[in-house]
């Protein structure tokens, strides 16, 4: 076992929130350890080939993969940031030690004075007959195969879920030359942005709301899927079943925050369905109920990458301020919170606003 590294700030997760947190903490004068289980910086950003919404003052109009490159470049050039890639944090002990498994190095340890948890979210699965057949994928896996490894996941796809991820990954499938036979959505309306839906509609892909997948069939891999319309009570309507000839069923049915480290740290967790599941109670600067432990990004509640980056900056800044009080800290926090409020002001962020209001009001 190697010695224990003692950075001032450790950031777990190098996606949009973690990268922004590491930069903000380092620029605030802290020495930072940034940890990610993948072998490259960027988290899910590296799979995002579409241009981001948001404010032109931040990164709007830039493709996610380019945001990852920009932030990664700044991080690598910052002398105060040490990076552990290929490193999976597996435990956080009461004495403040993070235990991790580092590729090629075995177990490694770090004991930071401040911890920012930016672990992101995990995809939800869906229960139906045949959901274990090869060819049934989560949307994230499809993006990894296509956009990271350049591997086509299939030829004819059924997308389950019309939130932003389902719509965007459908578009990416089309761009990769895959035929998207249909996008189905159990809810009454499309969950994602209408502009994302319009892109795939004009490419000829139907979107059917109030539909779900009943089962997937095939000998050794997906050969067909059976879908049906749902009634008001979300039950399949007999007689509406249709068989779709597909070799790929892609599930985009939501995300849930990855919070194991926060549970281990003893943070007070509450169930907020609007934010994707259990999330930590936190202060205005995203500090959890355990002093010295912050949260940012999807781990704090499932949202967009644009909000994750601002949350990361806020948490990283607050950690640096804890170590060495920063001038204009209050003003910068106010600006960041204002930017978050703006990004969350639209009608499609109503659910997130409801969840955050419940969290802040203590009505969970």
Partner 1 sequence: MLRKTGVPTDDLLRQVTPSEERLRRGPVAIFECFERIPCDPCQHACPTGAVQPFEDLNDLPRVDHQLCTGCGRCIQACPGLAVFVVQEDLDECSALVGLPYEYCPLPAPGDVVTLLDRQGRAVGQGRIKKVVRPGNRGETPVVWVIVPRGLAMTVRHIRPEGENRGADQPTGGHHLPV
Binding site for partner 1 (CB under 8 A): 50-56, 60-63, 66, 174-175, 177-182, 188-190, 193-207, 209, 306, 342-349
Shortest Å distance, C-beta 89 to partner 1: 32
Other Cβ atoms less than 10 A from the Cβ of 8: the count is 21
CB of 122 closer than 8 Å to CB of 250: no
| Least distance between partner 1 and beta carbon 41 (Å) | 18
Q: Crossing angle, helix 164-175 and helix 194-202, to 10 degrees?
A: 30
Min CB(56)–partner 1 separation in Å: 5
Which residue's entry shows tokens 């590729």?
103
DSSP H stretches of helix in 164-273: 164-175, 194-202, 260-265
Instruction: Specify the residue, 51 or 125, whose C-beta has the smaller distance to partner 1.
Output: 51
CB of 281 to partner 1, least distance (A): 26
Question: Looking at beta carbons only, is 119 or 164 nearer to partner 1?
Answer: 164
Least distance between partner 1 and beta carbon 353 (Å)? 12
**Cβ neighbours for 127, distance < 8 A, ≥ 6 positions apart:** none
**DSSP 8-state assignment for residue 75:** H
Is 288 within 8 Å of 268 (Cβ atoms)? yes
Q: CB-hemisphere CA count at 13 Å for 317?
A: 22
Rank residues 63 and 102 by Cβ distance to partner 1 and give the closer one: 63
Nearer to partner 1, 73 or 189 (CB): 189
Nearer to partner 1, 36 or 304 (CB): 304
* Residue 322, phi-psi category: left (phi > 0), alpha (psi -120 to 50), beta (remainder): alpha
CB of 119 or CB of 147, closer to partner 1:
147
Residues 6+ apart with CB under 8 A from 192: 162, 163, 164, 165, 166, 167, 168
């Amino acid at each position: 076992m190697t010695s224990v590294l003692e950075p001032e700030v450790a950031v777990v997760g190098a996606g949009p929130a973690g990268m922004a947190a590491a930069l903000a903490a380092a620029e605030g004068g802290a020495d930072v350890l940034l940890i990610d289980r993948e072998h490259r910086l960027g988290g899910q950003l590296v799979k995002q080939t579409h241009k981001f919404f948001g404010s032109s003052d931040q990164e709007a109009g830039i493709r996610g993969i380019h945001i990852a490159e920009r932030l990664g470049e700044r991080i690598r050039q910052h002398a105060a940031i040490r990076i552990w890639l290929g490193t999976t944090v597996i435990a956080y002990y009461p004495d403040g030690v993070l235990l991790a498994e580092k590729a090629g190095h075995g177990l490694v340890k770090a004991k930071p004075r401040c911890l920012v948890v930016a672990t992101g979210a995990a995809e939800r699965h869906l229960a139906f007959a045949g959901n274990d057949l090869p060819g049934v994928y989560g949307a994230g896996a499809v993006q990894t195969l296509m956009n990271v490894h350049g591997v086509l996941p299939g030829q004819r796809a059924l997308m389950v879920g019309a939130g932003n991820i389902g719509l965007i990954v459908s578009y990416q499938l089309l761009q990769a030359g895959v035929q998207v036979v249909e996008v189905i959505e159990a809810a009454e309306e499309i969950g994602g942005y209408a502009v994302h839906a319009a892109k795939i509609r004009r490419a000829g892909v139907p979107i059917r709301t109030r539909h779900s997948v009943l089962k997937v069939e095939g000998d050794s891999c997906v050969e067909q899927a059976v879908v049906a319309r749902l009634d008001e009570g979300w039950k399949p309507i007999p007689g509406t079943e249709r068989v779709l000839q597909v070799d790929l069923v892609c599930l985009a049915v939501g995300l849930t925050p990855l919070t194991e480290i926060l549970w281990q740290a003893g943070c007070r967790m509450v169930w907020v369905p609007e934010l994707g599941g259990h999330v930590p109670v936190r202060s205005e600067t995203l500090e959890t109920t355990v002093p010295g432990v912050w949260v940012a990004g999807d781990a704090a509640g499932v949202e967009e990458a644009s909000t994750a980056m601002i949350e990361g900056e806020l948490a990283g800044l607050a950690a640096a301020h804890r170590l060495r009080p920063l001038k204009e800290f209050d003003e910068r926090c106010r600006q960041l919170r204002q930017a978050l409020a703006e990004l969350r002001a639209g009608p499609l962020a109503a659910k997130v606003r409801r969840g955050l209001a419940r969290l802040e009001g203590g009505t969970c």
